[in-house]
Chains A and B, each alone.
Chain A
Amino acid sequence: AQSVTQPDIHITVSEGASLELRCNYSYGATPYLFWYVQSPGQGLQLLLKYFSGDTLVQGIKGFEAEFKRSQSSFNLRKPSVHWSDAAEYFCAFTGGGNKLTFGTGTQLKVEL
């Protein structure tokens, strides 16, 4: 079955520390991968996407993600977290170019 797994439900980091959010997918071919962020009561904002080419992709707000085919992963990273990064982060993929399948999300808390 096609699915996305985000193993960490909650993560707490100190402001200024580095961040890595994990995402693993299950799909028979190379998927199209996305990371979205959601603030409380709001819609989803696109952070970055991977379609093909360079496996390290840069996004907005200083985020980056690396596609690793051998590990079926697409982890999100940020070298130095800001308090405003506190939100819920969703990994998603599509195989056929239309509907997205989302993970259950990782709630990020930033300690000042």
Chain B
Amino acid sequence: DTGVSQNPRHKITKRGQNVTFRCDPISEHNRLYWYRQTLGQGPEFLTYFQNEAQLEKSRLLSDRFSAERPKGSFSTLEIQRTEQGDSAMYLCASSSLTSGGADTQYFGPGTRLTVL
């Protein structure tokens, strides 16, 4: 079990540019989540996948954001035409559905995005 990995760890971009982040979940996990965390706040849910299906998207996920999980393994989160308000830590988590009624999410180290 190598844990959840995210790349890159840091990204600095200029306003208006597109950026893409990658998340590799724990190998046997079928659920994958994206969260955004701004300074001084707790993480906020963005979207989640079960296998390759995107099952829920938050209102926070504007049309400039798109997430994919094409083969049910790794996922990408793309932000188009970045704005300074997109500066945040983007966290990925993965889990597997259990019989206990809720799954336990394990988080990656995050990607820190700075938009200049």
- Which A positions have Cβ atoms within 8 angstroms of B? 4, 32, 34, 36, 41-46, 49, 51-52, 90, 92, 94, 97-105
Q: Which residues of B contact A36 (CB under 8 A)?
A: 107
Please pick, from B6, B40, B91, B97, the residue contacting A44 in the complex, using a CB distance under 8 A.
Answer: B91
Given the interface contacts A51-B100, A97-B102, A98-B56, does A42 sit within 8 Å of B109 by beta carbon? yes
- Which B positions have Cβ atoms within 8 angstroms of A? 4, 6, 31, 33, 35, 40-45, 48, 55-56, 91, 93, 97, 100-110, 112
Q: Which residues of B contact A98 (CB under 8 A)?
A: 31, 33, 48, 55-56, 102-103
Would B31 and A100 count as touching, CB distance under 8 A?
no
Q: How far is the CA of A94 from the CA of B104 in the complex (A)?
A: 10
Q: How far is the CA of A90 from the CA of B33 in the complex (A)?
A: 17
Instruction: Identify the 10 closest CB pairs spanning chains A and B, nearest first.
Output: A102-B42, A32-B102, A97-B102, A43-B107, A44-B107, A99-B45, A43-B109, A51-B100, A43-B110, A102-B43
Given the interface contacts A51-B100, A51-B102, A99-B56, does A43 sit within 8 Å of B44 by beta carbon? no
Name 12 A/B residue pairs within 8 A (Cβ), A-sorted: A36-B107, A41-B112, A43-B4, A43-B91, A46-B104, A46-B106, A92-B42, A98-B48, A98-B55, A98-B102, A101-B45, A105-B40
18 further interface pairs, Cβ-Cβ under 8 Å (given A99-B45, A104-B42): A32-B102, A41-B112, A43-B107, A45-B107, A46-B104, A51-B100, A90-B42, A90-B43, A97-B97, A97-B102, A98-B48, A99-B33, A99-B56, A100-B33, A100-B105, A102-B42, A104-B41, A105-B40
Q: How far is the CB of A63 from chain B (nearest CB, A)?
A: 16
Residue of A nearest to B43 (CB): A102
Q: How far is the CA of A12 from the CA of B110 in the complex (A)?
A: 27
Q: Which residues of B contact A4 (CB under 8 A)?
A: 42
Would A94 and B102 count as touching, CB distance under 8 A?
yes
Q: Which residues of B contact A32 (CB under 8 A)?
A: 101-102
Q: Which residues of B contact A92 (CB under 8 A)?
A: 42
Q: Which residues of A contact B108 (CB under 8 A)?
A: 43
